[in-house]
Structure 1
Amino acid sequence: MTEAPVHDEAHAAGLGSRLNWLRAAVLGANDGVVSTAGLVVGVAGATGSRDALLTAGLAGLLAGSMSMAAGEYVSVSTQRDSEKAALAKERRELREQPEAELAELADLLARRGLTPAVAREAAVQLTERDALRAHARVELGIDPDDLTNPWHAAAASFLAFTAGALLPLLAIVLPPSAHRLWVTVVSVLAALTLTGWWSARLGAAPAARAVARNVGGGALAMAVTYAAGSLLGAAGV
């Protein structure tokens, strides 16, 4: 039975793109949890003022989410510009030297396991259907109709970081002062366990090791910032 490699390749590319977005969302939420938890726990080491904790937490949430969004926008915009430039170059080469481009496509297909004759015939058919799309996918690994969108990436990073940052912020300001630190620590470690497990699952990596790294890093961050806040509070800074 003959397989449909082009369709399967497109399906795999779409699935990979969705997994990458989901993994980025999980990591963004994880960053929001860790950075905001470190900030509010550090402030809690210096003062028990709910207003100070809320102000610091909100400032950290806004600064972190905006920074993540801006960084993602710049990064993805650069990637999109590179993709557009590569497509423009390919379009020019197809116009100026179509035979050489056809031979190149056939060679690329042959490297994927097709016999030279079948690769040549496939290259001819793909070129007749849509030469630019064929070269974009086979040679460049780009889908011309699905270029990365910097605005989508920025919004996703902003929302993921904000969602993660809300957990330690609410955990530090809502409980009574006698319990807020431990509520925050337990909530953050539980969230880091979940995001570590999800990131490992999405990357097909060992979950126990990823969770241990995630929880250990978050616990260390909170311990260091709490110690620093306690020292500054004791010194009256």
Structure 2
Amino acid sequence: MERNHFEEHYVARVGWLRAAVLGANDGIVSTASLIVGVAAASGRAEVLIAGIAGLAAGALSMAAGEYVSVSSQADTEKADITREKAEIDADPAEELRALAGIYERRGVPAELAAQVAAALHEKDALGAHVRDELGISEHTEAQPLVAAGASAFTFAVGAALPLATAALVPEASISLWVTVLSLMFLALLGAVGAKAGGASMWRGVLRVTFWGAVAMAVTALVGKLFGAVV
């Protein structure tokens, strides 16, 4: 009886997971840092105005930044694919030898490498070169809209957490509450991101929480030193 073979690999999530974690992390850290810095020199009203402005501007900035950067990657990939197609059309025999050479360098015997390269060339020459020579696959191919959307959405969600905290806790202790709860949010984000990517949860938690704490501490210090909104 034939069995269907299925394995779950985390690399398929690379296209959106990186942008999502980055967006959520930046949303929490930047908004919490902004709130803590403003709270060190102002009241709740100023804190909420600054936080809402930071959420809106940050989400749009993250979306635009991700779209532009990932679009640049996509343009480079398309240019390489176009160039590779032209090289295959111009000299298929040389490209066939080059593909066989790639397999040989990976440890495949020369005769078998030539057979594999010939079979792949016959089926989909460009696909074989894109995958094995350029290192571009469907899992890692740049997706600007996916990255931009994931980054903007998760930034807004991340920013909403410290903003909601600032709106609900006593005004005199906004900085303390935002700092503590934001670090808890960051720890949760680190754990979820690591779990989704199949990595060590403790490492993810410590990395995200440590740098978030540093950012908020520096911003709070600036707010206290200058006695002004930062």
Q: TM-score, normalised on structure 2?
A: 0.86
Quote the residue 2:191 is aligned against: 197
Deviation at 1:144, TM superposition (A): 7.0
Q: 1:45 aligns with which of 40, 45, 56?
A: 40
Describe the shift of the 1:195–1:91 C-alpha distance in structure 2 as closer, same or farther (beyond 3 A): same
Describe the shift of the 1:51–1:187 C-alpha distance in structure 2 as closer, same or farther (beyond 3 A): same
Q: 2:84 aligns with which of 86, 90, 106?
A: 90
Confirm whether residue 28 of structure 1 aligns to residue 17 of structure 2: no
Q: 2:177 aligns with which of 172, 175, 183?
A: 183
- Determine if contact 1:105/1:123 at 8 Å carries over to the other structure: yes
Paired residue total: 225
Deviation at 1:155, TM superposition (A): 1.1
Q: Distance in 1 between matches of 2:66 and 2:175?
A: 32
In structure 2, list runs of 5 or more residues that go unmatched. none
- Determine if contact 2:15/2:139 at 8 Å carries over to the other structure: no
Q: Distance in 1 between matches of 2:198 and 2:139?
A: 26
Deviation at 1:222, TM superposition (A): 2.3
Quote the residue 1:60 is aligned against: 54
Which letter maps to 2:175?
A: L
Which letter maps to 1:44?
A: A
Quote the residue 1:225 is aligned against: 219
Q: Distance in 2 between matches of 1:145 and 1:195?
A: 23
Q: Distance in 2 between matches of 1:68 and 1:127?
A: 41
Provide, for residues 163-193 of structure 1, a one-character-per-residue CA deviation record: whole Å limited to 9, x for no partner. Answer: 1111111111122324433332221010111
Quote the residue 2:13 is aligned against: 18
Describe the shift of the 1:221–1:56 C-alpha distance in structure 2 as closer, same or farther (beyond 3 A): same
Q: Distance in 2 between matches of 1:39 and 1:89?
A: 47
Which letter maps to 1:33?
A: I
Q: Work out the percentage of aligned pairs sharing the same amino acid.
A: 49
Confirm whether residue 125 of structure 1 aligns to residue 123 of structure 2: no
Q: Distance in 1 between matches of 2:35 and 2:111?
A: 66
Provide, for residues 79-113 of structure 1, a one-character-per-residue CA deviation record: whole Å limited to 9, x for no partner. Answer: 11111111111111111101001111111112222
Quote the residue 2:110 is aligned against: 116
- Determine if contact 1:26/1:198 at 8 Å carries over to the other structure: no
- Determine if contact 1:27/1:195 at 8 Å carries over to the other structure: no
Q: Distance in 2 between matches of 1:86 and 1:113?
A: 26
In structure 1, list runs of 5 or more residues that go unmatched. 1-6
Q: TM-score, normalised on structure 1?
A: 0.83
Describe the shift of the 1:126–1:41 C-alpha distance in structure 2 as closer, same or farther (beyond 3 A): same
Which letter maps to 1:138?
A: D
